[in-house]
Amino acid sequence: MNQMKPDSEALGQAPARGATVDEWLHWLEAIHPTEIDLGLDRVLLVLRRLFPRKPRARITTVAGTNGKGTTVAAIEALLLAAGRTVGAYTSPHLVRYNERVRLAGREISDGELVTAFERVESARGGVSLTYFEFGTLAAFVAFENAGVEDWILEVGLGGRLDAVNVLDPDVAVITSVDIDHIGFLGDNREVIGFEKAGILRPGIFAVCADPEPPASVLQQASAQKVALRLTGRDYSLECRGADAVTLTVDGVQLALPADPLPIQSLAAAVVVSRALEPGLGRDVIEECLAGLSLPARFERLQSKPAVIADVGHNPHAARWLAGKLAVFKGQGQRVHAVYGALMDKDIEGVLSAMITTVDDWYLGGLSVPRGLSQGALEQRAGAVLSAKPVRSFDSVPDAVSAALAQAAPEDVIIVFGSFFTVAEARQLFQP
């Protein structure tokens, strides 16, 4: 997205009636001076024009450093299985913007999305909105137009000042708290936890899936008399071999799949869904989650050699990835890593978390806004990977091709670093 101040003459008017989704998105990228501009005042002003009263739907908001997408998808699947109509809003997308908005389990159509964009533009007046803020309000409009009963909303950045937080949730989830987006959220877990806990509201039901929640989260929950449920205290997880984990909640034991999704996120989704729909049976929950998968979340793209894609882009996610890959290492398989990243990420922290698990590195440049070029990535990675075999390439597809040529059939290739990295790699396997 464009981070430069827009040229007012080039902007012109909003897309005309009948414009395509791409035409709308191109215009949205340029209507605000900065890509990220945290704060609720502008969004709240337009929201009140669109929704004079709080939507009648039940709203669940999900914040966290990692694991949000899994939590949203799991709650969505469970509520659909319970017979509810559900709208889910996530970000960013891999290939098509429509991936961000799901209505009753399907991606929003171009026509529905354009209708929502047009309504937000009509209500916006002279209020300047970022790309994300405009899209968030459009998702709300689409949910209202579709008449879905449950809105599941993923926070884009932080929590307290994120556009999603203009709506008061009935239920809140904090998946994890770790260091990312330092320039916006702070450089320690207590400060970041305060931002994540900004989605809490007095007296609501909430779940924190972080095994060691910061005091700032617990303090805000206590001050607002939130009915907060914590992993390890109010529900527990126990490994049952390599393939299954037992979740115990309210005296009930449920079998959850150990792979491919983060187990803490799945468990939090079950706790939330049982609270929302107490009649949701154990068999339905287990069957629903056993078949759940998400694109680019430890997604297997190919076998022999195995190619796995994951959007992990911070040290917390890298530590989780390293743990999953350690299983392959323990079986004597060689691990090759294809890595591309954005310039504002903790490159050194990510690589340090993965260094003992990865045997061979293939660095790929990203030619997108904020993307690190081949040379810049090579320079930042050099100090961490100096003792490892490292090859660098101008693009992620080139790096993937090189890894495929080098890897033996029994090896594993992990492609990770950002949504852009994974999206470019997936095109090689799923055009």
* The total number of residues written for the chain in this structure: 431
Write down the pLDDT at residue 181: 66
Query: Within 13 Å and on the Cβ side, how many CA atoms surround 226?
Result: 27
Q: Is 215 exposed, middle or buried (0-12, 13-18, 19+ CB in 10 A)?
A: exposed
Distance CA 100, CA 235 (A): 30
The DSSP output letter for 86 is E
Instruction: Give pLDDT tens digits for 52-73.
Output: 999 999 999 999 999 999 999 9
Give the dihedral sign, CA 88/85/137/198. negative
Backbone angles phi, psi at 359, to 5 degrees: -90, -40
**Among the listed residues 375, 268, 364, 377, the one whose alpha carbon sits nearest the alpha carbon of residue 309:** 364
Amino acid at 130: T
Distance CA 112, CA 103 (A): 10
Distance CA 285, CA 304 (A): 33
Question: For residue 407, how many other CB atoms are within 10 A of its CB?
Answer: 21
Instruction: Give pLDDT tens digits for 273-308.
Output: 999 999 999 999 999 999 899 999 999 999 999 999
Distance CA 275, CA 90 (A): 22
Take residue 41 and report the two structure tokens written for it.
């005042």
**Among the listed residues 51, 41, 164, the one whose alpha carbon sits nearest the alpha carbon of residue 101:** 164
Backbone angles phi, psi at 78, to 5 degrees: -70, -40
Task: List the chain pLDDT tens, one digit each, 431 residues.
Answer: 333 333 333 456 889 988 999 999 999 998 887 777 778 999 999 999 999 999 999 999 999 999 999 999 999 999 999 999 999 999 999 999 999 999 999 999 999 999 999 999 999 998 999 999 999 999 999 999 999 999 999 999 889 999 999 999 999 999 999 877 666 667 789 999 999 999 999 999 999 999 999 999 999 999 999 999 999 999 999 988 777 899 999 999 999 998 899 999 999 999 999 999 999 999 999 999 998 999 999 999 999 999 999 999 999 999 999 999 999 988 889 999 999 999 989 999 999 999 999 999 999 999 998 899 999 999 999 989 988 889 999 999 999 999 999 999 999 999 999 999 999 999 999 86
Give the dihedral sign, CA 217/221/226/231. positive
DSSP 58-111: EEEEEE-SS-HHHHHHHHHHHHHHTT--EEEE----SS-GGGGEEETTEEPPHH
CATH 3.40.1190.10 in the chain is located at: 8-290
Amino acid at 380: R
CATH 3.90.190.20 in the chain is located at: 299-429
Distance CA 194, CA 205 (A): 18
Take residue 46 and report the two structure tokens written for it.
């337009």
Instruction: Please give the CATH number for the structural domain made up of 299-429.
Output: 3.90.190.20
Instruction: Please give the CATH number for the structural domain made up of 8-290.
Output: 3.40.1190.10
Beginning with the edge strand found earlier in the chain, give each strand of the sheet holding 205-208 in spatial order. Answer: 106-107, 101-103, 86-89, 150-154, 58-63, 171-174, 205-208, 227-230
Take residue 84 and report the two structure tokens written for it.
């509810």
